[in-house]
Amino acid sequence: MKAKIIITIALTAMILTSCESFKPDSEQEIFFKAGSDFEYKFSDIELYDSSTHILYFKDVHPEFENIGQTFTFLVNGEEIYSGFFRPAFLSSLPTGPFISTAPLFYQYYALRIENWYDRKPDMRNDPRIIQALEERHLLHSGLSVIINSIECDDSYLSFSFTVTNRDQSDLLILDPDKMGIKLFHYFTNGLRISKLNDKTTVFTSTIDHLSPEPWNSWETGWLSKIEHDVSKTFGFNYPIDSPIDPGEYYAFFEFPGLAYQIERDQLIRANKRIWLGDIRVTKNIVIE
């Protein structure tokens, strides 16, 4: 009996020692490198929103002002993918993952990784990155957006879409019903419709946008809470001069969120996170 007790104690000690040695390695592991000078550990990360590919940090990092030319994501010391910091004023089209700078578009606690024209599958969703974030409870799913319907008559084009909270947290989103359709369209270009065969644009939003005063301000009254796994449906009536000809079309819409307006200490309000970024959604449609 004593031998069994001794063996049990020894095994328990080995397991605890193993766990203790794994934990600091796991949390202190380098996850993100920028340039040759800056390294960030998993313990520096607040969360990663996979719907917008925004990496949120626990603290503000002024060094993001001039952080370098390239970045790399790593898991277990292995490079998963790399990208580059790209000034927004460049006219060339980016290829591969990049982070827009000059301006950064977000305050110095959030970096958005974009990938406009890269091949599938998207490197930002590499299973090794997703698993590493899930294991550390850093992965958040953000929002999903779908186009429901587009109908056209002689005077109006009616557009309906649904936003769903896929996140673990309650989120605060821009609500066009609260802020007004003109102010909402300051943050988005709205609906665009193109011919399916040759991509010729046949419709773009006809709603005049209304700028905030001042331009970089925001109000809590614009936001609505959307709980986990809850959906909200919105609709617009766009004025048109003449109906769109019947046929097959490609519809594009960008659902917007706030960005540079939100400071780090404003991000969480009463246990609800303000959703930042935007989601681009497309759908092949038939207008009869």
Q: What is the per-residue pLDDT for 256?
A: 98
Q: Which residues contact 126 (CB under 8 A, 6 or more apart)?
A: 73, 80, 81
Distance separating the N- and C-terminal Cα atoms of the chain: 83
Residue 39 has pLDDT above 60, yes or no: yes
Helix (H) or strand (E) holding 23: helix 2-27
pLDDT in tens, 123-150: 998 999 999 999 999 999 999 999 999 9
Q: Which domains does the chain have, with CATH numbers?
A: 27-135 (no CATH), 142-287 (2.60.40.2360)
Residue 7 has pLDDT above 60, yes or no: no
Report the pLDDT averaged over residues 62-78: 93
Q: What is the per-residue pLDDT for 24?
A: 53
Question: pLDDT class for 16, splitting at 50, 70, 90?
Answer: very low
- Going by C-alpha positions, the residue among 99, 104, 6, 15 that lies closest to residue 60 is 104
Rama region for 286: left / alpha / beta (φ>0; ψ in -120 to 50; rest)? beta
DSSP 121: S
- Going by C-alpha positions, the residue among 257, 233, 228 that lies closest to residue 177 is 233
Q: What is the per-residue pLDDT for 288?
A: 85
Q: What is the per-residue pLDDT for 118?
A: 62
Question: pLDDT class for 2, splitting at 50, 70, 90?
Answer: very low
Q: Token pair for residue 20?
A: 């203790």
DSSP 28: S
236 in Cβ contact with 181 (< 8 Å): yes
Query: Which amino acid appears at position 114 of this protein?
Result: E
Q: What is the per-residue pLDDT for 78?
A: 96
Q: Which of 75-89, 91-105, 140-154 has the lowest mean pLDDT?
A: 91-105
Report the pLDDT averaged over residues 46-53: 97
Query: How much is the pTM?
Result: 0.88
Cα separation, 38 vs 51, whole angstroms: 26
Report the pLDDT averaged over residues 237-256: 94
Residue 14 has pLDDT above 80, yes or no: no
Report the pLDDT averaged over residues 81-105: 90
Query: Alpha helix (H) ranges present in the chain?
Result: 2-27, 127-135, 176-179, 181-184
Q: What is the per-residue pLDDT for 66?
A: 84
Q: Of residues 54 and 119, which shows the higher confidence score? A: 54
Q: What is the per-residue pLDDT for 5?
A: 42
Q: Token pair for residue 233?
A: 């449906």
* Strands ordered across the beta sheet of 110-112: 110-112, 54-57, 45-49, 139-140
Residue 23 has pLDDT above 90, yes or no: no
C-beta atoms surrounding 113 within 10 Å: 20
Q: Are strands 139-140 and 110-112 parallel, antiparallel or unpaired?
A: unpaired
- Compute the mean pLDDT over every residue in the chain, rounded to the nearest whole number: 90
